[in-house]
């Protein structure tokens, strides 16, 4: 074997080794950028165990994986709504009315059981529900536990904040369907936002979107 | 002497190439420790390439166990494949974290490997799988599922129906 052939073989072997060694790194190079939007869910239990659940999902991943799930009412990234559930309620008409209306408060229900407020402001739909029954039940529980001092009752409050464009996208599929993938795309385009906050005696639930890949 | 040196060089180069190939996909690692008396302790690691090679070999077996596995996993394969493909884009991420006073569970990726860690009072489980291997497994199971369909797997493995039934 002459010198040039030997040199060529050495170079080929070195190159092959380098390729094998760098193969995983090359696949990592496809990594998502820092600007990707993530959905974060955090559930903090108020009980003695103090359970904390944190879920972080890239919106792009959810967009790709959801259409692959075909089970029960979920097909191709869309959820089928039973016609019985929306009987006599034209969701599209209601949405259209809300979208074209001026900013303001549309629904205010105040009762002994709960308060409900639905309003629109700067392209966002706000739904705030305060459950008073929860406070009463907690107070009753405190009374029944004689001698033992229960923790102060916390009223159950649900706050939902949804960009109108996301609601539009959600209802874009058809009459009896909700398009989850379209809604995710709209959410991703909207940028960082708080979506859902639930506070009650048992749990704190927080759902939001930002570009960080961890909860904290 | 020169011949021996050449042979040693050849063997060394072959060994280096083989090692590089075997480990180029990374390593699958499983650690299970039970802290109770007499509890089991399982620790093993396998080169991820061995899984791919094993699946290739399994397709040559007469009973074709891969077809059976593919048929059982068929409903979940599209989700598995989509998830594995997407996971490749997030080599370092934290997906699920559950903590309470008894245990801590964590699922995430570190340097392109899927990490599943459960640390409890009585048991500790750590699993690490390269995401690339998940893609490979999903692809091979899908291939096996397709070939099972093409070769009439169901017809071959259907239970016989008797007239009296």
| ipTM of this complex | 0.75
How far apart CA B43 and CA B110 sit, in angstroms, is 20
Rounded to 5 degrees, φ, ψ at A129 are -120, 125
pLDDT at position A195: 92
Residue with more model confidence, B7 or B32: B32
Question: What residues of chain A score a pLDDT lower than 50?
Answer: 19-30
Q: What is the pLDDT of residue A8?
A: 54
Is A158 within a domain? no
Residue B141: per-residue pLDDT: 86
Are B83 and A20 an interchain contact pair (Cβ–Cβ within 8 Å)? Answer: no
Q: A59: closest CA among A31, A33, A38, A76?
A: A38
Number of domains composing chain A: 1
pLDDT at B106 over 80: yes
| Lowest-confidence region among A16-25, B80-89, B97-106 | A16-25
Q: Are A13 and A170 in contact (CB under 8 A)?
A: no
| Count of CB pairs separated by less than 8 Å, A with B | 100
Among A92-101, A166-175, B36-45, B92-101, the range of highest mean pLDDT: B92-101
d(Cα A67, Cα B23) in Å, to the nearest integer?
A: 34
Q: How many Cβ atoms are within 10 Å of A187's Cβ, its own excluded? A: 23
Could you tell me if residue A146 is inside a domain?
Answer: no
Banded model confidence at residue B165, pLDDT cuts 50, 70, 90:
very low
Residue range(s) defining the domain that contains residue A89? 3-102+165-210
Average of per-residue pLDDT across B58-68: 72
| Closest CB from B24, B82, B96 relative to A64 | B82
Q: Does residue A19 lie within any of the structural domains?
A: yes
Interface residue B101 vs chain A (CB under 8 A) = yes
Asked if the structure places residue A21 within a domain, the reply is yes
């Amino acid at each position: 074997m002459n010198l040039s052939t030997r040199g060529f073989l050495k170079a080929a072997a070195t190159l092959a080794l380098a390729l094998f060694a760098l193969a995983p790194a090359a696949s990592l190079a496809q990594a998502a950028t820092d600007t990707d939007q993530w959905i974060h869910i955090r559930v903090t239990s108020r009980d003695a165990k103090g359970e904390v659940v944190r879920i972080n999902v890239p919106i792009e991943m959810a967009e790709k994986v959801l259409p692959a799930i075909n089970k029960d009412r979920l097909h191709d990234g869309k959820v089928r709504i039973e016609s019985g559930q929306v009987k006599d309620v034209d969701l599209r008409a209601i949405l259209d009315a809300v979208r074209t209306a001026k900013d303001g408060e549309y629904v205010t229900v105040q009762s002994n059981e709960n308060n409900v407020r639905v309003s629109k402001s700067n392209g966002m739909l706000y739904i705030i529900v305060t459950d008073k029954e929860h406070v009463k039940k907690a107070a009753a529980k405190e009374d029944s536990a004689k001698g033992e001092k229960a923790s102060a009752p916390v009223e159950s409050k649900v706050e939902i904040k949804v960009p109108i464009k996301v609601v539009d996208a959600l209802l874009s599929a058809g009459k009896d369907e909700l398009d989850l993938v379209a809604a995710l795309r709209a959410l991703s385009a909207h940028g960082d936002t708080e979506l859902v906050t639930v506070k009650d005696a048992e749990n704190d639930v927080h759902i939001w979107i930002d570009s960080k890949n961890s909860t904290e | 002497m020169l011949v021996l040196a050449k042979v040693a060089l050849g063997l060394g180069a072959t060994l280096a190439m083989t090692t590089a190939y075997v480990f180029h996909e990374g390593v699958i690692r499983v650690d299970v420790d039970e802290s109770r008396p007499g509890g089991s302790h399982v620790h093993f690691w396998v080169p991820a390439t061995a899984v791919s090679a094993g699946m290739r070999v399994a397709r040559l077996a007469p009973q074709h166990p891969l077809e059976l596995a593919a048929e059982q996993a068929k409903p979940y394969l599209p989700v598995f494949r989509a998830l594995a493909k997407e996971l490749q884009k997030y080599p370092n991420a934290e997906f699920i974290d559950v903590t309470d006073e008894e245990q801590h569970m964590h699922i995430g990726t570190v340097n392109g490997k899927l990490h599943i860690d459960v640390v409890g009072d009585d048991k500790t489980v750590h699993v690490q799988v390269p995401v690339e291997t998940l893609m490979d497994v999903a692809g091979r199971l899908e291939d096996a599922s397709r070939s099972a369909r093409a070769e009439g797997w169901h017809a071959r493995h259907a239970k016989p129906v008797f007239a009296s039934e």
